[in-house]
Structure 1
């Protein structure tokens, strides 16, 4: 598969110059299952922060060909609860220096995000979140409809709408990045450190000895392991079934779409829970739109037409200027969702297996922060403080981190 390159990268055209395509060794100190953003970021920070390079990243297809290539690239940290705000703000601070860290262009654009409120309850919840964000040192503002129109003049703030805009939260530091470039940047750095990125390598099972996993069975042979980190997003439940571990996960298709190329008219990101759509404009000019997950469970990278129909109707109501825009293409990823809409990161019943899943619709924005914290967790054998609240045991203790309000719209 030929890997395209971003402008200005000044790299040879042949993909072998981006990273090696090695044969798997017989064993590694760390085996990461999943070659998406989280797996690649974890590998990078294992090498960068901890000097651990005897690492393999196993990907059943091609690197970053799953959700990393199928998301809508939004980055923000304006979550309600302290635990969520901490991990996402850590990630956002890393995003702000990531291009220099990776030595690779990622087109990170901090254009801000508006979360619209359409009902009195929306207003109360939104103002509460703004105040909570401020207490956590996160940039957040509450805006009136007129102030919303100043930041994004093309939003329809008319009171005649079925769901009129009553105001919005605003995080100025939020933004977007080019997901492919992010993945390639992490992959290049990991490869340069000597980490093996092994594609076309599907995990088919595990060899267990007591409380430890000793080998990972793959389509390219068995691989011995000191530690295993599971970073397989929507397919995590399949891997856990192979280990005999139950986790409260459901996998759903999540659809998105882009329009034809348009002139740059949309200056920020706009999200709405009530009419269920979010819209940004990519660097080339296409509108990038998403909505909520399809209601059914499944592992197919497709979705139902009515979801697209509803998000298009919502987008046209909020942005009448786009009424004649043409739909260019649609796609879907597979997101893993937990009962409290927060991730699961940390220990499993096996001493040397660490879990990273349940990010639902928010995985992309967490990429560098999660990679940093999971690498620290693997290196030290204890959960990093930023991910400690997201352990699997919270579903037994009841210490849930309920972010349904902040994560109701796919993002």
Structure 2
């Protein structure tokens, strides 16, 4: 994503990341091995140490730390999901976001600037009001605003009647916002390393050693590492790992493309999302417009942009924000998201007694980072799923107890 410094005047400048954690050689065995050194893996490691005193932990990352989806997302944080199960885990996460900078002792540039989800049809309006009421029942800040309210919250949105999809209103979550993804990863890594947890980069998993229903070791390009418990936190590459274990997981990996503009003066005060024109736009702390849309329809592992996607995103953005008509594209990229049939994650046990799964977050992984880490750490510590993640077990695809966020009538980013 936008890898350059995005801090404004007067912001604290964090230390260079090279000085924040060790680069140890892997030990022969660990109590817990976490595969995936992105936000979820690092947050799980941090809360294992902080909440449960478990520090004989290794985080294995095949590339560079947080170089996968953590570095390639668009940093939107919100909890205004429709279903009770989804809103519970995301609201838990949002509450942790609100104290995360103090917890980590590291600047993460968490900006609660609010999120608007636009409605462009009568059905959009009905679905949006339904979601607002569901949010309120779950104690989540949410409100419905009309076109004038949208204009008041974000003056640069085009609410005229003579556009393809006129704005009929929007849901608004004031506590939602954005954070600086790299700083979040560095903060978690710094605290985990200080607790004695080994963060091992350039360590690719190539197989597993098993004994009946248990995994006894993780085979890597740096040798075999013994493991008491294993947590799979590899996002879009999860199915590569589960295939090695013979576990059937209903996820598909899709590219998700996004882009940033050149640096602009501060003009965009919030986050605006639209499912009809299919774009979402925020402005980073340094000034770039950060834009994304939906996943590519095809499966793949490409981490680069494509012109037809860029063209569609820019056209949608200009329709909503005519002020950006002459803005220049700076760069684009792609992440790899893992998507489940019900657009909800899979977290919890697997057929192996000591292997735990965390995948299927689709485009919602970044916003869930601290909440998932907290809940998965407790699950690993006590061998029982935390109540917030219990509904997202793998066996729901057998029982039919799905958490179908496809019905949320909101861009799932």
Tell me the CA shift for residue 360 of structure 1: 0.2
**Counterpart selection for 1:401 from 380, 400, 403:** 403
Match of 2:300 in 1: 298
Deviations for 1:196-241, whole angstroms, at most 9, x for unmatched residues? 0000000000001000000000000000000000000000000000
Tell me the CA shift for residue 300 of structure 1: 1.8
- TM-score, normalised to structure 2's length? 0.97
Match of 2:266 in 1: 264
Aligned to 1:214, the other structure's residue is in SS state strand
Deviations for 1:371-407, whole angstroms, at most 9, x for unmatched residues? 0000000000010000000000000000000101437
Would the aligned equivalents of 1:233 and 1:358 in 2 still touch at CA under 8 Å? yes
Match of 2:229 in 1: 227
Aligned to 2:107, the other structure's residue is in SS state coil
Tell me the CA shift for residue 309 of structure 1: 1.1
Matched, 1:365 2:367: yes
Aligned to 2:408, the other structure's residue is in SS state coil
Match of 2:377 in 1: 375
* Gap runs ≥5 in structure 2: none
Match of 1:144 in 2: 146
Deviations for 1:25-70, whole angstroms, at most 9, x for unmatched residues? 0000000000000000000000000000000000000100000000
Q: Aligned equivalents of 1:137 and 1:14: distance in 2?
A: 38
Match of 1:337 in 2: 339
Match of 2:60 in 1: 58
- TM-score, normalised to structure 1's length? 0.97
Aligned to 2:253, the other structure's residue is in SS state strand
Q: Aligned equivalents of 1:55 and 1:388: distance in 2?
A: 23
Aligned to 2:294, the other structure's residue is in SS state strand
Alignment of 1:170-209 (within 5 A): 170-209=172-211
Q: Aligned equivalents of 1:407 and 1:233: distance in 2?
A: 24
Q: Aligned equivalents of 1:307 and 1:14: distance in 2?
A: 33
Match of 2:121 in 1: 119
Tell me the CA shift for residue 342 of structure 1: 0.2
Aligned to 2:193, the other structure's residue is in SS state helix
The ranges of structure 1 where at least 4 consecutive aligned residues each deviate by more than 2 angstroms after the TM superposition are: 3-11, 302-305, 405-410
Q: Aligned equivalents of 2:124 and 2:257: distance in 1?
A: 24
Match of 1:110 in 2: 112
Match of 1:8 in 2: 12
Match of 1:322 in 2: 324
* Gap runs ≥5 in structure 1: none
Deviations for 1:114-139, whole angstroms, at most 9, x for unmatched residues? 00000111001000000000000000
Match of 1:67 in 2: 69
Matched, 1:287 2:289: yes
Aligned to 1:404, the other structure's residue is in SS state helix
Tell me the CA shift for residue 279 of structure 1: 0.2
Match of 1:31 in 2: 33
Tell me the CA shift for residue 8 of structure 1: 2.5
Would the aligned equivalents of 1:257 and 1:288 in 2 still touch at CA under 8 Å? yes
RMSD: 1.3
Would the aligned equivalents of 1:9 and 1:104 in 2 still touch at CA under 8 Å? no
Deviations for 1:245-292, whole angstroms, at most 9, x for unmatched residues? 001000000000000000000000000001100000000011000000
Q: Aligned equivalents of 2:34 and 2:121: distance in 1?
A: 44
* C-alpha spacing 1:319/1:4, structure 2 compared with 1 (3 Å): closer
Aligned length: 407
